[in-house]
Structure 1
Amino acid sequence: MVKHMTMTHFKPRLIVFDLDGTLVDSSPDIAIAINQMLSELNQATYSEQEIKQWLGFGATKLINCALTGELEPKIEPANLRQAMRLYFNFYSANICVNSQLYAGAKEGLEQLKLAGIKLACVTNKPALLTLPLLTEIGIKDYFQFIASGDTFQRMKPDPLPLLEAAKAIAVDPEQALMVGDSINDIQAGKNAGFKTAIVPYGYIGKYSIDELGADYQINTIEHLAKLVC
């Protein structure tokens, strides 16, 4: 059973946030770009809700899922490279049209920053999409460290980007918290030796909150700030 976080449990010096599904609801713009890609390839399109279940695993898997209609594609589609080019073109041109910060996200980041807690953003989104989204939605400057899915050789659930964040900010993993919405976030945090917190919204996929095995559950980022500041 996931514990609701309380002030007595843990006081992190570093908090690492996932991006899509944790800070930003980007699924509307992603779904539009995926369906534009599929239409260009003369393939069937999907609802935003269907596309949401494929989010959080990086762009390559997202596009694989869209091309095959499978959550765990067994064969790489022959037109994957063409599809990726189309998707990046469509999405990068409209990266923050319908995307929105989740309630309390910016307020929480502001409170955490003012309290002197170091903040990082680690996402599986490619860098060419991560930085424009963070900039356009107005939260890039809150982070002392940003890592995308292609920043290092491995991405979440591998612990490497989280450990690099802790190293860059000179914080021991035991003093860090990973906040996310998916199995990749929680596994990455645990693999890195971080405490982990799950938000009850976002792109949780096929899992229940309890199945993800996070140490804590928070309601919003602003809620987190009130607990640890």
Structure 2
Amino acid sequence: MKGFLFDLDGTLVDTAIDMIAALKTLAAENGILINPDYNQYKELITHGSRAIVVSIFGHLDKNSIWLLQQRYLQIYQQNLTVGSCLFDGISAVITKLDNANIPWGIVTNKPAYLAQPLVDSLPQLHNCKVLIGGDCTLHSKPHPEPINRAIKSMPINPTESWYIGDALTDITAANAAGMNSAVALWGYLSNTDKPHNWHANKLLTNALDILEL
């Protein structure tokens, strides 16, 4: 059966506003006033919470950064649905897939304890067949293990199906799992990213392009 698997942050949902707000709060708690630029900091989201914390506290030792990362996650967990929303076109895409009885799921490196309530807060995503978080398997993307688990759980035929994400780790994992892969160019790519070199099957300019796959 054909199906779709999606990355979460930067592909289905724009979470940058809430993740940047959590960083601003963390900085303020430590006596640092910042006014983060959305376009600058959204690029860090692909690299996870540690990279976000290091952007402000990189001068500290590893243990201090780890403690700040845990506090950052606490702050974010308390406010993860304040400003986050679906990217333009995603609602229409999901509706089309649901109406056509095409199964779809989510494979993200975001921990499940954060990803699940985020998904639950968005009614358009309630027909998600499987949600694999970064803490659900021994390995996370770019390893294919979480995608392989989702494929078996749904189940779908990987050679007929698509994985869509906005990072090299997404495409590497999808290719290793034997899926067709597509880059979500509307996501959190940086100016130094070169998606044309990621060996994806497709580059998608906007979410509605998914309906052409």
TM-score above 0.5: yes
**Equivalent-residue separation in structure 1 for 2:63 and 2:27 (angstroms):** 14
Task: Give yes or no for the alignment of 1:52 onto 2:42.
Answer: yes
Candidates 130, 134, 156, aligned match of 2:141? 156
Q: Contact 1:121 / 1:145 at 8 angstroms: preserved in 2? A: yes
Residue 209, structure 1, aligned to residue 180, structure 2: no
Counterpart-to-counterpart distance in 1, 2:58 and 2:40:
13
Alignment of 1:69-218 (within 5 A): 77-205=62-190, 206-218=192-204
C-alpha distance in 2 between matches for 1:20 and 1:186:
15
For 1:1-20, list aligned pairs within 5 A: 13-20=2-9
Residues 94 and 164 of structure 1, relative CA distance in 2, 3 Å threshold: same
Deviation at 1:215, TM superposition (A): 0.8
Per-residue CA deviation, residues 45-82 of structure 1 (Å, 9 max, x unaligned), is 4433332221123334443444328xxxxx96221232
Alignment check: 8 A CA contact 1:34 1:63 kept: yes
4+ residue runs of structure 1 moved beyond 4 angstroms? none
Indicate how the Cα distance of structure 1 residues 152 and 58 shifts in structure 2: closer, same or farther if over 3 A, else same.
Answer: farther
Please say if residues 130 and 148 of structure 1, whose CA atoms lie closer than 8 Å, have aligned partners that are also in contact.
yes
Unaligned runs of 5+ in 1: 1-11, 70-74
TM-score normalised by the chain length of structure 1: 0.83
Q: How far apart, in 2, do the equivalents of 1:117 and 1:217 lie?
A: 21
Matched, 1:67 2:67: no
- Identity over aligned residues, as a percent? 25
Q: CA deviation at 1:186?
A: 0.9
Q: TM-score, normalised by structure 2?
A: 0.89
What is the CA deviation profile of residues 98-156 of structure 1, one whole-angstrom value per residue up to 9, with x for unaligned ones?
22211110110111122121101011111121111111122331211101111111111
Distance 1:57 1:114 in 2: 34
Structure 2: state its 5+ residue gaps. Answer: none
Backbone CA RMSD of aligned residues: 2.1
Structure 1 pair 91/31, CA: closer, same or farther in 2 (3 Å)?
same
Task: Return closer, same or farther for 1:128/1:66 CA change in 2, 3 Å cut-off.
Answer: farther
